[in-house]
């Protein structure tokens, strides 16, 4: 479905109205969608679709997945959390998991950014001919 410029503008305005201190407020998002669906302004489906896309992109930017070859200690978790929040801002949701296939090191996914400091990643880079 092609979205008109006005629907994009309205979706963006709705998205900005749902932010509190630069972070989306879940209650405001629910209320905003309910209000648009109740009022049904012209092009409301396109507005909601664009708004949904913006919310999904924001959630992806605010979600970080950290993989480690071994169990991450609480001190390491705190250090990683502070470094990521310094770079990406407050309100970041982190999840830590163990992935023995990494052999050693960390792999961090934040939105579309991937930071691979693992031994497996370095071996794969050497195998493909590019040096990190």
pLDDT tens per residue across span 25-41: 999 999 999 999 999 99
Q: Is residue 33 domain-shared with residue 78, that is, in the same domain?
A: no
How much is the pLDDT for 34? 96
Last residue of a domain, one of 19, 34, 60: 60
Neighbour tally for 58: CB within 10 Å: 18
Looking at residue 42, what DSSP letter applies?
A: T
Q: Is residue 45 domain-shared with residue 77, that is, in the same domain?
A: no
Average pLDDT over residues 91-103: 93
State the total domains in the chain. Answer: 2
Q: Is residue 71 domain-shared with residue 56, that is, in the same domain?
A: no
Please tell me the distance from the alpha carbon of residue 20 to that of residue 93, in angstroms, as a whole number.
Answer: 17
Last residue of a domain, one of 13, 28, 60: 60
Q: Is residue 9 domain-shared with residue 53, that is, in the same domain?
A: yes
Last residue of a domain, one of 18, 41, 60: 60
Please, is 11 exposed, middle or buried when counting C-beta atoms within 10 Å of its C-beta (0-12, 13-18, 19+)?
buried
Q: Record the pTM.
A: 0.74
Question: Higher confidence at residue 56 or residue 2?
Answer: 56
How much is the pLDDT for 131? 56
Measured between alpha carbons, how far is residue 104 from residues 21, 84, 120 in Å? 37, 20, 7
Q: Is residue 28 domain-shared with residue 85, that is, in the same domain?
A: no
Confidence of residue 94 (pLDDT cuts 50, 70, 90): very high
Q: Is residue 56 domain-shared with residue 68, that is, in the same domain?
A: no
Give me 116's structure tokens.
Answer: 């691979």
How much is the pLDDT for 132? 54
Position of tokens 């410029």?
5
Measured in whole angstroms, the distance separating CA 59 from the mean position of its chain's CA atoms is 4
Structural domain of 95: 62-128
Confidence of residue 12 (pLDDT cuts 50, 70, 90): very high
Question: Higher confidence at residue 23 or residue 65?
Answer: 65
Q: Is residue 84 domain-shared with residue 51, that is, in the same domain?
A: no
């Amino acid at each position: 479905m092609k979205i008109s410029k006005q629907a994009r503008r309205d979706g963006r305005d709705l998205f900005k109205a749902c932010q509190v201190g630069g972070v989306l407020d879940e209650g405001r998002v629910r209320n905003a969608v309910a209000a648009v669906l109740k009022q049904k302004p012209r092009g409301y489906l396109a507005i909601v679709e664009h708004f949904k896309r913006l919310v999904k992109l924001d959630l992806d930017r605010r979600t970080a997945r950290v993989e480690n070859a071994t169990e991450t200690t609480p001190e390491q978790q705190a250090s990683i959390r502070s470094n990521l929040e310094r770079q990406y801002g407050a309100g970041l949701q982190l999840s830590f998991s163990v992935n023995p296939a990494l052999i050693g090191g960390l792999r961090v996914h934040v939105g579309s950014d991937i930071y691979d400091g693992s031994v497996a990643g370095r071996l794969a880079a050497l195998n493909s001919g590019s040096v990190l």
